[in-house]
Each structure stands twice: as C-alpha cells, then as structure tokens.
Amino acid sequence: MSRQPPAHEHSRGHDHSVTATGANRNKLIAVLCITLSVMLIQAIGAWISGSLSLLADAGHMLTDSAGVAIALLAATLAARPATDARTFGWQRAEILAALANATVLCAVGVLVIREAFLRWGAEPEVESGIMLGAAVLGALANLVSLAILARARGESLNMRGAYLEVFGDLVGSVAVIVAAVVIMTTGWVRADALASFAIGLLILPRAISLLKDVADVLLESTPKNVDLAQVREHITGIPGVVDVHDLHAWTITSGVPVLSAHVVVDGDEVDYEYSCQILDALDACLDGHFDVAHCTFQIEPVGHVRHEQALHN
C-alpha cells in the first residue's frame, strides 16, 4: 500500500478571489452616488443657512463617501489573483481600507465635537428653513441607502462599516431636523451646536468599535464565531485521532476564516488510505460545525511527537 508523502496537508477548495465586499460592489456604488449627491446639497445648504450641525452632517457624509470609495478600491485589489509572493492575493486590503475608514471617522468625530463647543458660546444667525429642507432630504437618502445595504451588512467589516456610517448619517440628519424645528419654533440657535455635539458623539463609538474589529483581524485573533476548545473537542472525537496541537484559527479578511492544526493519529506509521480517511473525517467535522473556509491539517503518527519536541526546543 502506498505511503503518504512527508508533508501531510489537506486544503478545502474555495474561490478566494471574490470577497464579501466585492460581491456587493454594485450596492456600494449605488450608496456612494447617493451619499455624494446629498453631501453636496447639505454642504451648500450649510453654507447658505449658517448651520454647523448641517455642515457636520455633510462632513460625516463626506467621510462616508471616502470610506465607501476606499472599500470599492480595496475590493478591486482583493479580487486580484494570488501569487507566490502573495498567496492570499490582496484580500487583506479590505481590512486596511476599514482601518483607514475608522481612523478618518474618529478624526471627524473629534473635530465636530470641538467645533460644537466653540459654537456654544456664540449665537450666529441660522436659516432654519433651508437647514430643515436639506436635513429632510438627507434623511430620505439615508433611508434608501440603508435599504440597499441591509442584507449585506453582516458579510464583511467594510459592508458593516458602510451600513453603520449610513445609519449614523440618518441619526445625524434626524438630529439636524430636530434642531431646525427647535430654532424655527423657539429661536434657540444653540440647538444647532447641541445637534452638532450629538452627531460627534454618534460618530466616535462606531468608529472605535470598527477599529477594534479591524485590530482583531490584523492581530490574527481567533474569529468570534470559532471556539477553539470546541474545535479541539470535535477533532479529538474522530475515531483514530489521539491528540491535536499547534491549532490556530485566524481571519485573512471578512468572510475568509482560516484554520490549521497538527493532528496526531494512532500508530507509528500512517499509510495513504488511513490518512485520507482521517482527512475526510476532519473536513466533514469542521464543515458541519464551524464556518471555516480554508483548513490545513498535518497528519502525524504518534511517534512523530519526538520530532515535534526537538523542533520546538
């Protein structure tokens, strides 16, 4: 009976050329067009009306547009084929795009809050009618964008980031609408600064949350939906498997989790047929219990542990 080659490795075939963001490219393009159009209208409305909150909302929409544009660029890069120099291609570009997006969001949030504090002591003239009209238009556009992104928001960090940004825009537009109504009915112009402050507070927590998720990917943390203790339990529960070590799970980009492990099986030697049976069982086990797109296993006989100890010493 033939023997298995020294490097015992098994990989499940998956098409890594299409990432979650790339699969939703048309949705991102539609949202980008909507956001840019409304941003221009709000910026003009802010200039005419003198509203800081409307300008803050327009600035937020500008960063959202930049974030979506970066995500589209990253999705294009991520679709490039893998090479010997980059075995996973450019898929990590999506994560770098999300990092840039979150960083810009943090900066905008801080600037908006700062300007709101500076505006609080002043009482500039605000054309509440123009302010209200532009804010209502922004809210309607954001509702349309949310509907476009609703189903895709759980598929990748970039899609989640885009959805959260549009949702933040919607809440920001509502804050501007409330401020405009308050100014129209009471004349209390500080409502504009208060709405700006609220928009800034809405931006920062979302940006920090996105930064945390990006850091988890860049630090190659275990994916949230993978419990390594359960993975280990399932692997060792397969007939013929006596131990598992060097078990690692991480994420290349959103929707592309990876797992590798050294699997110790019965006997001092492993023949080809037996190793294939173990690999098929491992593949079926993980496919049935864990959302792992790419698995690599090294099959080792019990006696190989002496070589492992020598290598790690």
Neighbours of 194 (CB within 10 A): 19
Dihedral angle of Cα 146, 150, 155, 157, to the nearest 10 degrees: 30
Mean pLDDT, to the nearest integer, of 60-69?
78
Alpha carbon separation from 103 to 91, 162, 168, 211, 227 (Å, rounded): 20, 14, 16, 7, 30
Percent of the chain clearing pLDDT 90 (strictly above): 10
Compare 91 and 174 and report the one with higher pLDDT. Answer: 174
The reply to whether CATH 2.40.50.100 applies to domain 20-218 is: no
What kind of fold does domain 228-312 have according to CATH? Alpha-Beta Plaits (3.30.70)
In this predicted structure, what is the pLDDT of residue 180?
92
Give bridge partners of residue 249 from the DSSP assignment: 259
Contact 258, 293 (CB under 8 A): yes
- Going from N- to C-terminal start, the domains of the chain cover 20-218, 228-312
| pLDDT tops 70 at residue 304 | no
**Angstrom distance (rounded) from CA 154 to CA 207:** 17
Kindly give, in sequence order, each residue whose CB lies less than 8 Å from that of residue 143, ignoring residues fewer than 6 positions away: 170
pLDDT per residue over 85-130, tens digit each?
877 777 787 788 778 878 888 888 888 888 888 878 776 778 889 8
Contact 218, 252 (CB under 8 A): no
Q: In whole angstroms, what is the distance from residue 73 CA to residue 80 CA?
A: 11
The pTM of this model reads 0.70
The total of other beta-carbon atoms located within 10 Å of residue 96's CB is: 17
| 74 within 8 A of 82, measured Cβ to Cβ | no
Rounded to an integer, what distance in angstroms lies between the CA atom of residue 18 and that of residue 57?
Answer: 33
| pLDDT value of residue 155 | 65
Q: How confident is the model at residue 291 (pLDDT cuts 50, 70, 90)?
A: low
Q: With 50 as the cut, is the pLDDT of residue 13 above it?
A: no
User: From CA 254, how far away is CA 19, in angstroms rounded?
Assistant: 8
Res 9: pLDDT: 44
Give the ranges where 91-227 is alpha helix by DSSP (H). Answer: 93-120, 128-149, 157-186, 190-218
Residue identified by tokens 């509907």 is 147
Would you state the pLDDT for residue 277? 86
Q: What is the mean pLDDT of residues 153-176?
A: 78
- The 10s digit of each residue's pLDDT in 177-230 is 999 999 999 988 889 889 888 888 877 887 888 889 889 989 988 888 788 898
Q: Higher-confidence residue: 95 or 247? A: 247
Q: How far apart are CA 39 and CA 105, in angstroms?
A: 16
- 16 φ, ψ (degrees, to nearest 5): -95, 5
Residue type, 170: L
Phi and psi at 304, nearest 5°, equal: -70, -15
Q: What is the mean pLDDT of residues 278-286?
A: 82
Distance separating alpha carbons of residues 272 and 303, to the nearest angstrom? 17
Q: Which two tokens stand for residue 147?
A: 């509907």
